[in-house]
Structure 1
Amino acid sequence: MASHRPLFTASRGQTLTYLLAVCPFSIAFLVFINATVSFIVTDLIGLHDGEGDAVGTLGFADELLALAACPLWGMLSDRVGVRHVCTVGYAIVALALVLFVQAKNIYPQLLLGRLLFSIGGSAVSTMVTAVLPAVTRKSFGGETRQESTEGTTHQDDSRLGQEGGNESHSPSSRLAGFAGMFAGCGALVSLAVFLPLPGRFQKSGMSPAQALQYSYYIVAIVAVLVSVWCFIGLRNLLGEDRKGWRSLLLVSRHSQDPSNAHANSPSLLPHMPYWKQAGIALALGFRNRSIGLGYLGGLVARASSVGISLFIPLSVNRYYRASGLCEGNPNTEPGGIGDIKRSCSKAYILASILTGVSQLVALIAAPAFGFLSEKSRRYHLPLLFATLSGITGYIAFALLPSPQFKGEDGNPGVFVIMALIGISQIGAIVCSLAVLSNGILSISASDQFLKQIYSSEASHEANQGPQDDNGDVTEQQPLLDTQPDQHRSLHQLPHLKGSIAGVYSLFGGAGILFLTKVGGLLFDVLSPGAPFYIMAGFNGVLCLAVFVSGLLSKPSSVL
């Protein structure tokens, strides 16, 4: 019976690898490099004029490359498996960290190092989404490991085809809550362990440049260890057993193993061209409400991280400088604006407190959002609450006369505002992951869109089936490519979950690019509150989408 089924198809070791390695360190290394890149520019390379422009250009180039890299890594994982992409991704991160501190100039050396980091970081961030459906209870055929009979499969198909059905059993939602919590822990690991390293090395007698280099070497070693951990811990994931590097250029599994044509195996579905995988993943966002909401939620989630980590400290810094509250003039001191820790330490402390409160609330709220998402799959009430919190929090912060919580202009209510912003961020992260994963697992085998595509691909492969030395089709050509056994597995999407994860990350990257460039420009020329109004707008669009999805909700996952 369903009540006795295991919660996850993954083993305990696989689940712990996902929660303790893939999720936290996908964030930890990014936080570390973002927080230290300005010191690399000033202390290691020695640039003190135009530091802000250099750092901004590096960040923009990182996100621009990530826009292309995330979908490519996702599609690649559909061929070689999420385990191999995680392993390679963290290995690339380690190499990039080592090369980053070898740079002698901004262009091209530091830029190339940042781009290499972007390639590795895109891989691991995309796999946070792609691994999630692989470790939940429902396997990609609507079956558990022990269930493979046709009757059981059709019964599960009917349940999974109902987006609002089976609301009390959504392990993806629960695991997404823990994934969000452990991702937040990754930021804390970076803040508590990685970022203090340069200061500790300096206290031991090293120069600032040497301290930065040795800190990056230590963090690179950690990235290597995480890479090895993923390689060992993610072995034999359900639906990944037939994937590997040798299938990278294969067009079809049929020609590789025609004797298994009758097997109920997801690997027997045709391998389409990469561009078609990406196109289908994007099209599913318009055809399936859960996947579409997941994409939009990913945009808001990633943009929220920038709104909190970049624009809140920037707004605090602007307030202190405009009010004359800094100890010195950061525009005339040797360190420039980037030396804010010395030139305006009060602003740095306040920004740390505000962002810390936001992240702490987010960390605490993550499991709750996972649990509540599990209970409300049709109307997505937790996501709706998160968007309303974001609209309220960002508008309120933009209207604050002062970000201080004490003093003549201070107001303790700023902590409530930061809590709302933190709730908005973690709600978007957890709920978008949960909704996206549930959308992948609920695709119905009766979806005519997918059935037509795979029937076409299977017929094409059948016509080009195994050939002899003269190029003629042999008798080993599979004859049952379009039989129910194949269509029965169409809703598993094991070969598309990486592509869908890539498109999810693509939307997130687009949100970051828009907020950083447009929000940054409006911050300078219009108002310091402009980026926060943009974030309120993002949350408003997502809120409207969730509301409309609830109104249109029917016992069907396809519009």
Structure 2
Amino acid sequence: MKEEAKEEMGSYATNAIDAIETESAEETKSIPPMPRNRLFYIFIVNKGIGYINFISYLLASLATICLVAYLSIVQPFVLTVILNIRENTGNLTGSLALYDEIIALPATLIWGVLSDRVGRRIVYSLGFLFLGTSLILYPYVKNVYPHMLLCRLLFSLGSSACTCMMTGTLGDIAGNQHERGRVSAIVGMCSGFGGLIAGLVLIKLPWQMGNKVKNEIEGIQLALGIIGGCSVALSAIFYLTMPKTGAGAADGLTLWVNKVILRRKVGDSSKSTEEMISPWRMLKYGILVGRDPRVALAYVSSFVARADTVLFSSFMSLWVIQYFINLGWCRNGTTCYPAAGDTHTLTGYGQGISLAFAPIFGFASEKLKRPTVLAVAGIIGAIGSLPFAFTKVAPADKSNFVFVTMTGIGQIGMIVTGMTLVNGMHIDPRYRGSVAGVFSFCGAVSIMVMARLGGYLFDVWMHGAPFVLMGIAHLIVSLLSIYVRIVTPRLEREDRAKWEADQRGKAH
């Protein structure tokens, strides 16, 4: 095992040089390339990844964001139509998101560490199973506490597993570091398609079903039952088709389980001790690697990107509904059709625009320094979010579409560039799931803080308050990105020196 570990670290050192943008092409050519596959003439993936594996991963990325965004969009209608709640909806929405993320915080770390042992596809499949079960139960709640809360917590377990694996699996699939941006771009596009489907297509399903059954409530129940059933079916499909990556990546975890958990004798040799990798060591690596400014920036981008996804869909829907409630158009526990129409138009438009910019950010992250790309995404997102927060015009006004466009561009830029940053070659492949867990953990923290604060300010200050928070977060990312861009040349020199030292040690 020790010799294999040395070989693996030697391979890791060889990969690390691929992440360094050197001035000498000859030096890079001297590094033997790792085995790769080319799919669809564009995407460079690791050896062993086939078309079915790649397509399955992209479909999982689409379905993950689709389901997460859909619950955020439809939840206000569950509150107002099924439970007939008209007041304090912003606070309730923020509170549910807070409790959701309280569960997601430890869950993302556990899923990430677990995936480094049992593999990504098992965790991914469990995630979709939990998502589907929660959606099936959601429209049958009788109250907010505890019924809706329990369903939301089950949904949280599923969404944390899926979002964590979406990040972790990317590093397992994507090939050459300099071509990794295009894989991140297609994943970002699939994520955008997921949000687009949720905002333009699935939002209509409850009322289409309502025309076929007795009333609107039964229509919502039937629609969510169909979507939840599809999620359960996807969990089985992904178990069969997702790439078998991550399983046994940290092999020493088996020794730790046998010795610490099962109390089995595994020998007292130094060899056994060196091989043993505890979950705490795996988790510690995921946290401490954040001392690298590039990884820290990726973690911060996750904070903002996840907040964008949930705040935009949840509070956009709530903002539109509240606008028409104030006009007196929504009352008596009935579906507000103008609100539903404007909601799906605005959210769908924002997600649609983001799709067009996903490949642009992917290409830019290959050709330019990634902190530079992230800084641009942050500035664009702030330009969209801040003016939109203070708009006084009707939701369907043309000016709002401009703001939504800018917000969508900034959001997809955060997602694509952040996923590329966190899957850099300066990450030890053995702990990729653990790093993805911390990456998702940061996103969970953002939703817990931003959704709760946004919901509170929605009720006590103004309905555009959540978008003020989004704009400020984008500006902070931009400033941090500029700092990381300044120190990147020094970090690359340190990477090269470390690689050269590893090569000298291997030679001796």
1:387 CA displacement? 0.9
Aligned residue identity for 2:336: K
How many residues end up aligned between the 2 structures?
A: 450
- Distance in 2 between the 1:90 and 1:541 partners? 33
Aligned residue identity for 2:136: V
Structure 1 gap segments, 5+ residues each: 139-168, 407-411, 444-491
1:389 corresponds, among 376, 380, 384, to: 380
2:51 corresponds, among 12, 15, 24, to: 12
Per the alignment, do residues 47 and 218 of structure 1 end up closer, same or farther by CA in structure 2, a change over 3 Å counting?
Answer: same
- Distance in 2 between the 1:79 and 1:370 partners? 30
Percent of aligned pairs sharing the same letter: 28
1:17 CA displacement? 1.1
Secondary structure at 1:334 match in 2: coil
TM-score between both structures, scaled by the size of structure 2? 0.78
Aligned residue identity for 2:355: L
CA displacement 1:333-389 (0-9 Å, x = unmatched): 322xxx5715xx2x554444333322111011111111111112x453221211111
TM-score between both structures, scaled by the size of structure 1? 0.72
Secondary structure at 2:175 match in 1: coil
Which residue number corresponds to residue 241 of structure 2?
233
2:229 corresponds, among 221, 224, 231, to: 221
Asked if residue 299 in structure 1 is aligned to residue 290 in structure 2, the reply is: no
Secondary structure at 2:423 match in 1: helix
Which residue number corresponds to residue 18 of structure 2?
none
Contact 1:80–1:243 (CA under 8 A) maintained in structure 2: no
Aligned residue identity for 2:50: S
Contact 1:379–1:549 (CA under 8 A) maintained in structure 2: no
Asked if residue 493 in structure 1 is aligned to residue 429 in structure 2, the reply is: yes
- Distance in 2 between the 1:396 and 1:45 partners? 33
Spell out the pairing of 1:333-372 with structure 2 (5 A cutoff).
Answer: 333-335=331-333, 341-342=336-337, 345=338, 348-372=340-364
- Distance in 2 between the 1:76 and 1:539 partners? 32
- Distance in 2 between the 1:317 and 1:44 partners? 15
- Distance in 2 between the 1:285 and 1:104 partners? 43
1:171 CA displacement? 3.1
1:208 corresponds, among 206, 216, 225, to: 216
Aligned residue identity for 1:431: T
Which residue number corresponds to residue 393 of structure 2?
402
Which residue number corresponds to residue 189 of structure 1?
197
Aligned residue identity for 2:294: S
1:47 CA displacement? 5.8
- Distance in 2 between the 1:348 and 1:43 partners? 12
Which residue number corresponds to residue 92 of structure 1?
130
1:294 CA displacement? 0.8
Secondary structure at 1:8 match in 2: strand
Spell out the pairing of 1:414-429 with structure 2 (5 A cutoff).
Answer: 414-429=400-415
Per the alignment, do residues 269 and 119 of structure 1 end up closer, same or farther by CA in structure 2, a change over 3 Å counting?
Answer: farther
- Distance in 1 between the 2:228 and 2:185 partners? 28
- Distance in 2 between the 1:92 and 1:272 partners? 29
- Output the aligned Cα RMSD: 3.4
Per the alignment, do residues 242 and 227 of structure 1 end up closer, same or farther by CA in structure 2, a change over 3 Å counting?
Answer: farther
CA displacement 1:92-145 (0-9 Å, x = unmatched): 22222333345444332332222111111111111001101000225xxxxxxx
CA displacement 1:450-504 (0-9 Å, x = unmatched): xxxxxxxxxxxxxxxxxxxxxxxxxxxxxxxxxxxxxxxxxx332x211111111
Bigger shift: 270-279 or 219-228? 270-279
1:507 corresponds, among 424, 442, 446, to: 442
- Distance in 2 between the 1:543 and 1:429 partners? 14
Per the alignment, do residues 63 and 281 of structure 1 end up closer, same or farther by CA in structure 2, a change over 3 Å counting?
Answer: same
Secondary structure at 2:491 match in 1: coil
Asked if residue 173 in structure 1 is aligned to residue 211 in structure 2, the reply is: no
Give the greater-gyration-radius structure (CA): 1
- Distance in 2 between the 1:23 and 1:542 partners? 24
Which residue number corresponds to residue 375 of structure 1?
367
Which residue number corresponds to residue 136 of structure 1?
174
- Distance in 2 between the 1:401 and 1:53 partners? 22
- Distance in 2 between the 1:274 and 1:368 partners? 38
Which residue number corresponds to residue 485 of structure 1?
none
- Distance in 2 between the 1:388 and 1:382 partners? 10
Bigger shift: 77-86 or 219-228? 219-228
Aligned residue identity for 1:442: H
2:477 corresponds, among 525, 542, 550, to: 542
Per the alignment, do residues 499 and 107 of structure 1 end up closer, same or farther by CA in structure 2, a change over 3 Å counting?
Answer: same
Contact 1:75–1:277 (CA under 8 A) maintained in structure 2: yes
Secondary structure at 2:336 match in 1: helix
Aligned residue identity for 1:341: C
- Distance in 2 between the 1:279 and 1:538 partners? 27
Contact 1:79–1:244 (CA under 8 A) maintained in structure 2: no
- Distance in 2 between the 1:379 and 1:31 partners? 27
1:247 CA displacement? 8.0
Contact 1:76–1:248 (CA under 8 A) maintained in structure 2: no
Secondary structure at 2:413 match in 1: helix
Aligned residue identity for 2:151: G
Per the alignment, do residues 271 and 299 of structure 1 end up closer, same or farther by CA in structure 2, a change over 3 Å counting?
Answer: farther
- Distance in 1 between the 2:477 and 2:433 partners? 23
- Distance in 1 between the 2:210 and 2:216 partners? 6
Secondary structure at 2:257 match in 1: coil
Asked if residue 523 in structure 1 is aligned to residue 443 in structure 2, the reply is: no
1:91 CA displacement? 1.6
CA displacement 1:156-182 (0-9 Å, x = unmatched): xxxxxxxxxxxxx52322111111110
- Distance in 1 between the 2:85 and 2:322 partners? 22
- Distance in 1 between the 2:106 and 2:195 partners? 25
Contact 1:357–1:419 (CA under 8 A) maintained in structure 2: yes
Per the alignment, do residues 388 and 498 of structure 1 end up closer, same or farther by CA in structure 2, a change over 3 Å counting?
Answer: same
Aligned residue identity for 1:179: V
Secondary structure at 1:237 match in 2: coil
- Distance in 2 between the 1:424 and 1:389 partners? 5
Which residue number corresponds to residue 293 of structure 2?
289
- Distance in 2 between the 1:386 and 1:519 partners? 22
- Distance in 1 between the 2:226 and 2:325 partners? 36
Contact 2:302–2:439 (CA under 8 A) maintained in structure 1: yes
